[in-house]
Amino acid sequence: MHYPPTATNLHYQAGFGNEHASEAVAGALPQGCNSPQRAPLDLYPELISGTAFTAPRHENRRSWLYRRQPSVVSGRYQPYAQTGWSTGADRAIALPPEPLRWHPIPLDGAETAGADFVDGMCTLAANGDAEAQVGIGSLVYRANRSMQRRAFVNADGELLIVPQQGRLVLTTEMGVLEVKPGEIALVPRGVVFKVALPDGPSRGYVCENYGAQFRLPELGPIGSNGLASARDFQAPVAAYEDSSGAYELVKKFGGRFWCAPMQHSPFNVIAWHGNLTPLKYDTANFMTIGSISFDHPDPSIFTVLTSPSDTHGTANCDFVIFPPRWLVMEDTFRPPWYHRNLMSEFMGLVYGQYDAKPGGFKPGGASLHNSMVPHGPDEEAFERASHADLKPQKLDNTLAFMFESRYRLVPTAWALQSPALDTDYADCWAGLKDRFKP
């Protein structure tokens, strides 16, 4: 496919971790080997490795790209100013041991005027260390301008993108993905991409994963089917852009930003094959599992993707969603229970209402409940659920999510000083009285 395709004629390949093969021009893929002495159509073979060469075969991620010019052809890098996107935990921040919440981050304002996806990115909270390849950043983007002859590549981590307002069209080295609210995109570390805004000003959330790559969680006694199905993840087909003309490439590398001029488009891949690729996923395809007897089950049953840590069963990051679902539990307080958790929870709301916070938590907002910080339903949710008629109930037109990490998430100075910070958040529990009746 020759770029630019339109949204109506985009095609995808199916499968998470699959071995894909695609060519925009027939005959561009070599047969029987990866790097022939002369590649078909006089293209340059280039390997991108998302894991070490010796990673176990079931975890190994790499793709071969056949392109008009290799990635080494670019200008010299110069420092680039992007002060809102920080990396890792800022140990100078005095982190309060209390719940935090942000109202929807506004799209307008001086700091987002004319900003594209890269310049409109701000870190709300982060942990870990990109150099040690551990931890995550929890970010929001507010974009008012499409990226034209401009591209971005992140050498520090993969990006899990959760649109909240407005569709995104991601042009990547492997092809084009269109992602709308309710869908997610996953861009591997090191893959070049740019973002267009077909609906105008757009907002959403991003998890920058410095650690092990996201993968589908193990299903255990659930069996062979359930949660997110591998076949519902979609990879792009090969597409290329007219190569001539000036381009700017912005790179995030070691927590700093750099830019380099190019005299051609980086989206010049005519064919590719492999299992390292950008992906999209529609959360409407998630097979939600819940209790059909009593009690609210652990939220881990809503895990879409997981990035493991060196401690088995304790994630560097779990991506968890709370989609539309039925509640049928008998004699049960149906919202999430009051909780103190080893894991730290960054939460966002794409659309609708979250059942544990029906009033104060709005689409485009965020909350942070760090390790062992108490949290749970607010007073309104408690009163309603404690006296509800326990008929089968459909929670519909809602989509909340969590980036959950074993490491404490430290808010940035920008987040703590933001006018969107809800300084009265803890008051939502102030009306919970002592009801003890001996």
Question: Do 250 and 392 lie in a common domain?
Answer: no
Question: Do 231 and 319 lie in a common domain?
Answer: no
Annotated binding site for homogentisate: 354, 375
The total domain count for the chain is 2
Domain of residue 421 covers 286-427
Predicted confidence (pLDDT) per residue in 16-51, tens digit: 999 999 999 999 999 999 999 999 999 999 999 999
In a domain, 127, yes or no: yes
In a domain, 49, yes or no: no
Which positions ≥6 away from 215 have C-beta within 8 Å? 16, 17, 59, 305, 306, 307, 308
Annotated binding site for Fe cation: 339, 345, 375
In a domain, 257, yes or no: yes
Question: Do 295 and 227 lie in a common domain?
Answer: no
In a domain, 59, yes or no: no
Question: Do 419 and 297 lie in a common domain?
Answer: yes
Confidence at residue 107, expressed as pLDDT on a 0 to 100 scale: 83
Average pLDDT of the chain, as a whole number: 94
Predicted confidence (pLDDT) per residue in 359-374, tens digit: 678 999 999 999 999 9
Question: Do 110 and 227 lie in a common domain?
Answer: yes
Is residue 296 among the annotated active site residues?
yes
In a domain, 228, yes or no: yes
Confidence at residue 110, expressed as pLDDT on a 0 to 100 scale: 55
Question: Do 344 and 391 lie in a common domain?
Answer: yes
Question: Do 160 and 239 lie in a common domain?
Answer: yes
Annotated binding site: 339, 345, 354, 375
Confidence of residue 4 (pLDDT cuts 50, 70, 90): low
Predicted confidence (pLDDT) per residue in 379-414, tens digit: 889 999 999 999 999 999 999 999 999 999 999 999
Question: Do 191 and 312 lie in a common domain?
Answer: no
SS3 label, residue 413: helix
Question: Do 116 and 237 lie in a common domain?
Answer: yes
Question: Do 331 and 363 lie in a common domain?
Answer: yes
Question: Do 128 and 234 lie in a common domain?
Answer: yes
Task: Classify strands 244-253 and 150-154 as parallel, antiparallel or unpaired.
Answer: parallel
In a domain, 128, yes or no: yes
DSSP-assigned letter for residue 132: T
Question: Do 259 and 296 lie in a common domain?
Answer: no
CATH number at residue 233: 2.60.120.10
Question: Which entry of 103, 296, 312, 387 is annotated as an active-site residue?
Answer: 296
Residue found under tokens 């077909």: 198
Please spell the DSSP secondary structure of 371-399, one letter per residue: TT--B---HHHHHHHHS-----EEE-S-E
In a domain, 110, yes or no: yes
Distance of CA 158 to the CA centre of its chain: 8
Confidence at residue 157, expressed as pLDDT on a 0 to 100 scale: 97
Domain finish residue from 235, 250, 283: 283
Are 236 and 58 in contact by the 8 Å Cβ rule? The answer is no
In a domain, 200, yes or no: yes
